[in-house]
């Protein structure tokens, strides 16, 4: 945008110069006509028709003129600021110097006497000055606009960074919340002298979960190791974890495929993506309803679809939900879908998008992975 604006200014500059040169030539002809008309009036006889000469002299209302004698003493002026000339004694001298420096002058002699003559020094009309300065004004506007845009971009960048940090903090707390809550539950059961061996095993799983969450966050922004995995087993593991921790009012149904679907992925990160979408589905349904997960393959792609019966996403917001900080919840999820999309698209060269969504009926997320 800035480059286009500069090109427009440059083009305008050259065009304005050409236009100014044409107007300057026109004003030079007008001055010659005006001086000739002045001379005709000065040396006219009683019988001469001076209507044309008088009209030319009277119509000269735009070009500033200073008339001097052979000693360059100022005789008269035309189209100059008379009020300023009265206040400032050097005003006319400065203008005379300005007109001389530009070489704009016409000399008229008195009859055949070469020692007596008048000179008419003239400047540029207001119109000509405006045309010359227009590109500079335009350039100044472009510079001001560019500075304002840079400041806006810088402010927006800082705002985005703030949102990312806030989102990351919320997402970390959200991810840690599930295993921590589970550990609290197991601790309560221990106090009631329940099945200590079973509780110990489940607590070990949640401790491993905390380690896994730490590993997942450490992978973001670095090199990841991808290995060949069976998509069915990978999705089943993530679904199994969430199924045990979902409310009894939610049914999570995995339409498993018996066919082996090999994919080369980071299982820890891809499971994170599936868990993020499942948690989002639970929130969208207010932890009540049915979630369906299905997998398949087609044309060199392996895919996962997760459908919930939640409140749905309006069409205008279906892309925005992947932006950092965009959330409809009071806590968490400011960064979950953003991280999920980055994991799928940047680390696995795949795609994550909203396949379909109906307000009040539910949403289907689709993950595509290259085989």
- 179 CB-side CA count, 13 A: 19
Q: What are phi and psi of 120, to 5 degrees?
A: -115, 110
Instruction: Say what the pLDDT of residue 134 is.
Output: 81
- The tokens describing 22, both together, are 């044409």
Q: What's the confidence (pLDDT) of residue 42?
A: 79
Q: Is 324 left (phi over 0), alpha (psi -120 to 50) or beta?
A: beta
Identical fold for domains 2-130 and 224-370, yes or no, is no
Contacts 24+ apart (CB under 8 A), 252-255: 252/278, 252/290, 252/291, 252/293, 253/290, 253/291, 253/292, 253/293, 254/293, 254/294, 255/292, 255/293, 255/294, 255/295
Question: Inter-axis angle of helices 126-191 and 196-219, to 10 degrees?
Answer: 160
Query: What angle, 0 to 180 degrees and rounded to 10, lies between the N-to-C axes of helices 267-284 and 196-219?
Result: 110
* Topology (CATH level 3) of domain 224-370: Heat Shock Protein 90 (3.30.565)
pLDDT recorded at residue 198? 67
Assign 3-class secondary structure to 76-108.
EEECCCHHHHHHCCCHHHHHHHHHHHCCCEEEE
Using DSSP's 3-state secondary structure scheme, residue 303 falls into strand
Distance CA 180, CA 175 (A): 9
* Residue boundaries of the structural domains of the chain: 2-130, 224-370
Residue 46's pLDDT is 77
**Residue (of 336, 271, 269, 261) closest to 301 by Cα position:** 261
The pLDDT of residue 15: 81
pLDDT reported for residue 278: 92
**Structure-block tokens of residue 104:** 């704009």
Q: Which residue has the tokens 């019966």?
A: 309
Q: Show the DSSP H helices in 43-79 as ranges.
A: 51-59
Torsions phi, psi for 64 (to 5 deg): -75, 135
Q: What is the pLDDT of residue 8?
A: 74
* d(C-alpha 292, C-alpha 256), whole Å: 10
Angle at 171 between CA 328 and CA 335, to 5 degrees: 60
Whether the full predicted model's pTM is greater than 0.75, yes or no, is: no
Tens-level pLDDT at each residue, the chain (371 residues): 667 767 776 777 788 888 888 988 898 999 999 888 888 887 788 788 888 888 988 888 899 999 998 888 888 899 998 888 888 888 998 999 989 888 888 888 765 556 678 889 999 888 888 888 887 787 788 788 878 888 888 777 777 665 665 556 556 656 666 666 666 666 666 656 656 766 667 667 777 777 777 666 666 666 678 889 999 999 999 998 888 878 889 999 998 767 789 999 998 889 989 988 998 898 888 878 999 999 999 888 999 999 999 999 888 888 888 876 666 554 444 467 888 888 899 889 999 999 999 998 999 999 999 87
Give the DSSP letter of residue 68: E
Beta bridge partners of 262: 230
Distance of CA 233 to the CA centre of its chain: 43
CA atoms of 307 and 364, how far apart (whole Å): 4
Contact 308, 362 (CB under 8 A): yes
Please tell me whether residue 309 adopts helix, strand or coil conformation.
Answer: coil
Q: What is the DSSP letter of 17?
A: H
Domain 2-130 grouped into CATH 3.30.70:
no
User: Cα separation of 141 and 194, whole Å?
Assistant: 76
**Which residues neighbour 20 within 8 Å (Cβ) at sequence distance 6 or greater?**
128, 131, 132
Structure letter (DSSP) for residue 212: H
Phi, psi of 69 (to 5 degrees): -90, -170
**pLDDT value of residue 371:** 79
Q: Residue 173: what pLDDT? A: 56
């Amino acid at each position: 945008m800035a480059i286009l604006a500069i090109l427009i200014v440059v083009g305008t500059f050259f065009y304005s110069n050409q236009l100014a040169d044409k107007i300057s030539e026109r004003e030079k002809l007008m001055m010659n006509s005006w001086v000739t008309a002045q001379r005709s009036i000065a040396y006219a006889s009683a019988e001469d028709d001076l209507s044309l000469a008088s009209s030319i002299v009277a119509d000269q209302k735009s070009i500033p003129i200073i008339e001097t004698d052979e000693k360059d003493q100022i005789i008269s002026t035309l189209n100059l600021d008379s009020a300023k000339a009265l206040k400032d004694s050097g005003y006319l001298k400065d203008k005379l110097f300005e007109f001389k420096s530009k070489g704009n002058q016409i000399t008229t002699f008195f009859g055949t006497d070469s020692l007596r003559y008048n000179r008419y020094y003239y400047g540029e009309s207001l119109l000509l000055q405006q045309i010359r300065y227009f590109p500079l004004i335009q350039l100044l506007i472009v510079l001001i606009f560019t500075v304002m845009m840079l400041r806006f971009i810088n402010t927006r960048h800082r705002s985005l960074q703030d949102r990312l940090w806030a989102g990351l903090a919320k997402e970390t707390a959200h991810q840690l919340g599930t295993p921590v809550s589970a550990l609290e539950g197991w601790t309560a059961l221990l106090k009631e002298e329940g099945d200590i061996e079973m509780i110990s095993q489940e607590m070990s799983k949640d401790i491993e979960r905390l380690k896994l969450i730490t590993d997942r966050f450490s992978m973001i922004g670095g090199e990841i190791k991808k290995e060949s995995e069976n998509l069915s087993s990978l999705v089943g593991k993530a679904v199994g974890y969430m199924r045990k921790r979902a409310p009894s009012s939610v049914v999570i149904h995995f339409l498993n495929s018996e066919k082996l679907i090999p994919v080369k992925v980071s299982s820890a990160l891809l499971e994170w993506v599936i868990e993020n979408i499942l948690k989002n589905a639970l929130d969208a349904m207010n932890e009540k309803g049915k979630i369906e997960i299905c997998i398949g393959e087609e044309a060199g792609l392996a895919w996962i679809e997760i459908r919930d019966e939640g409140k749905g996403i309006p069409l205008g917001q279906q892309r925005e939900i992947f932006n950092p900080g965009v959330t409809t919840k009071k806590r968490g999820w400011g960064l979950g879908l953003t991280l999920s999309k980055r994991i799928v698209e940047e680390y696995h060269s795949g795609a994550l998008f909203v396949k379909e969504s109906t307000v009040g009926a539910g949403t289907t997320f689709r993950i595509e992975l290259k085989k």
